[in-house]
Structure 1
Amino acid sequence: MFDIHRIKPVHGWREFFGEIGIIVIGVFIALSAEQMVELAQWKEQIEAARISLDDQISDNLFAAKERLQFTACSERQLNRLSEIVDKSWEAPKLRPTMVLLRDWASTAWAAAVASGVVAHMPEPLRKNYAAIFGTAEIIRSLNQQEFFLWSDLQTLHRQTVLTDVSRDRLQSDIARLSALNNLIAIASRQMVNLIDAAHIASKVSDLKMLNGEAHQKCLLPDDEHIIGR
């Protein structure tokens, strides 16, 4: 005969749910620990990325402040060049230093985005960096247009006499350069404000360089008029 044992459901279910509870709690603890480790790793990566980002922003801050110092001089140079074109039949000699071409770098931001670090930044911090580097990209595009336009004007050195066509072309290019100069100044001011709001300071060496440049003279394209910046 078979020996049949009765099941004790109450006692059995209690043990069953107790074991399930232990497993659930164990899984929860494991997941929580894993999440904490992941958060700590992302925090470490964010801090490392911020060092690179802030260093590049500091370089862009120097470029923006330098540009603001140079804006008035650039406008004077363009106005003087326009006067020369109007009054002279000779092709003007253009100074190669009449345009500032800077890097306006955003490679650190691109690297942070590609690595996934940006997605784990606090939203206010992420928005600040996005605004600063977005402005840098805009200025870089404008600055490159400005540089290529000045480079194009250098070809006029091959001419000794201004024709009506070349005169019109010069005046058109001067007007475009003036517009670019003003746009870059506006964007540079915006960048300085954004960086100041982010509490990122200029490097001491950059401040010394800016102070030295502020005392330089503004040399006009005909090399005859020197005006303080």
Structure 2
Amino acid sequence: MFRLIKLKPPHGWNAVLWELGIVTLGVLIALVAQQLVDSIHQRAEVRELMAALRAEMADNRARWEHIRASDPCTVHRLDALEQWNATAPRGAKINRAYRLFLWNQHSGAWDLAKTSDTTASIPLRERLMFASLYDAINNWRQMINEENANTQALSGLLATADQPENRNQIAYRISLARGYVNRRKFNYDYMFRRWDALGIAPDDSQLTVRANDKLLCEPLDRLS
């Protein structure tokens, strides 16, 4: 025959409930403290990642600002070359006539961000804005390769324009060069609107080359 044993804590049930409450409260405090530490750590990682992205974009914007500032002189030089090609004697040639400087763009911070879980904590609007800018930068790399190739070809043809087969190709290359400039201009509004929306100003402190925006405005007769 079984007998039910009535349990009675030495110090009473109130003491047990008190100790249980203290333990539970301690666990809750520990959990809240851990969540607070995790939250602070996550916010710090987000700030660091955002700072890296914004710094990279500030550098990229400075490069685009330089290219945009040089466009009027680029068009001026193309006008001058077109006039020269139409009027210069058949045996004439001109060296260093189209030395266009186009900056490359960086995306290392974004490549890192895409592999980081921290990126998910960046507000969606800003993530989408950065993604669209970096997509445009990837497109720019292809564009700059094409334009640089045409720049080299045009410069080479002008330097050997005393050869009839080269002189005949100059007008075509000038036409391509104008198209590349117009293509750049078409993209400016897209890029600069997004930089402005993110509050990113140009920062040229990291640029290692000081290119002259007005170089192509110099008269052709100053070239050797």
Give the TM-score normalised by structure 2: 0.72
- Which residue matches 2:13? none
**Identity of matched residues, %:** 21
For 1:135 and 1:191, how far apart are their aligned partners in 2? 8
The code of the aligned residue for 1:59 comes to D
Matches within 5 A, 1:185-196: 185-196=185-196
Give the distance between the partners of 1:87 and 1:31, measured in 2 at CA: 83
1:98-140 Cα distance to aligned partner (Å, 9 max, x none): 3122121111111111223323211011112112222222223
Counterpart of 1:219 in structure 2: which amino acid?
E
Residue of structure 2 in register with 1:104 after alignment: 105
Query: Does the CA contact (< 8 Å) of 1:106 and 1:133 recur in 2?
Result: yes
Alignment partner, residue 13 of structure 1: none
Shift of the 155–224 alpha-carbon distance from structure 1 to 2, 3 Å rule, reads closer
Partner of residue 69, structure 1: 69
Indicate the residue corresponding to 1:14 in structure 2: none
Q: Which runs of 5+ in 1 are unaligned?
A: 9-17
- Aligned position for 1:182: 182
Q: Of residues 151, 155, 161 in structure 1, which corresponds to 2:163?
A: 161
Structure 2 counterpart of 1:72, one-letter code:
P
Aligned pair in 2 of structure 1 residues 26, 149: CA closer, same or farther (>3 Å)? farther
| Secondary structure at 1:223 match in 2 | helix
Report SS of the residue matched to 1:117: helix
Does structure 2 retain, via aligned residues, the 8 Å contact 1:85–1:170?
A: yes
Aligned length: 206
Structure 1 residue identity aligned to 2:41 = Q
Q: Deviation string for 1:144-188 (max 9, x for gaps)?
A: 22112112234333453223xx34432222111111111112323
- 2:142 matched residue in structure 1: 141
Code of the residue aligned with 1:218 in structure 2: it is C
Counterpart of 1:152 in structure 2 is 153
Structure 2 CA distance for aligned equivalents of residues 196 and 94 of structure 1: 40
| CA–CA distance in structure 2, aligned partners of residues 127 and 160 of structure 1 | 52
Give the structure 2 partner of residue 53 of structure 1: 53
Matched letter for residue 51 of structure 1: A
Residues 122 and 167 of structure 1: is their aligned pair in 2 closer, same or farther, counting only changes over 3 Å?
A: same
Letter in 1 for 2:142: S
Show the 5 A alignment for 1:1-229.
Answer: 3-5=1-3, 36-88=36-88, 89-90=90-91, 92-95=93-96, 98-156=99-157, 157-158=159-160, 160-163=162-165, 166-203=166-203, 218-220=217-219, 222-223=220-221
Against the structure 1 CA distance between its residues 113 and 4, is the aligned structure 2 distance closer, same or farther, given a 3 Å change threshold? same
CA contact (8 A) 1:112 1:118 kept: yes
Indicate if the aligned counterparts of 1:105 and 1:137 stay in contact, CA closer than 8 A.
Answer: no
In 1, distance between residues paired with 2:120 and 2:92? 55
In structure 1, give the amino acid aligned to 2:52: S
The DSSP-based 3-state class of the residue aligned with 1:104 is coil
Structure 1 segments, 4+ long, off by >6 Å, are 22-32, 214-217
TM-score by length of 1: 0.71
Q: Is residue 65–residue 188 contact of structure 1 (8 Å, CA) maintained in 2?
A: no
Query: What letter is aligned with 1:147?
Result: N
Instruction: Give the counterpart letter for 1:114 in structure 2.
Output: T
C-alpha RMSD of matched pairs (Å) = 3.7
Aligned residue type for 2:47: E
Q: Shift of residue 204 of structure 1?
A: 7.8
Which whole-Å CA distance do the structure 2 matches of 1:146 and 1:216 have between them?
A: 18
Distance in 1 (alpha carbons) for counterparts of 2:84 and 2:70: 21
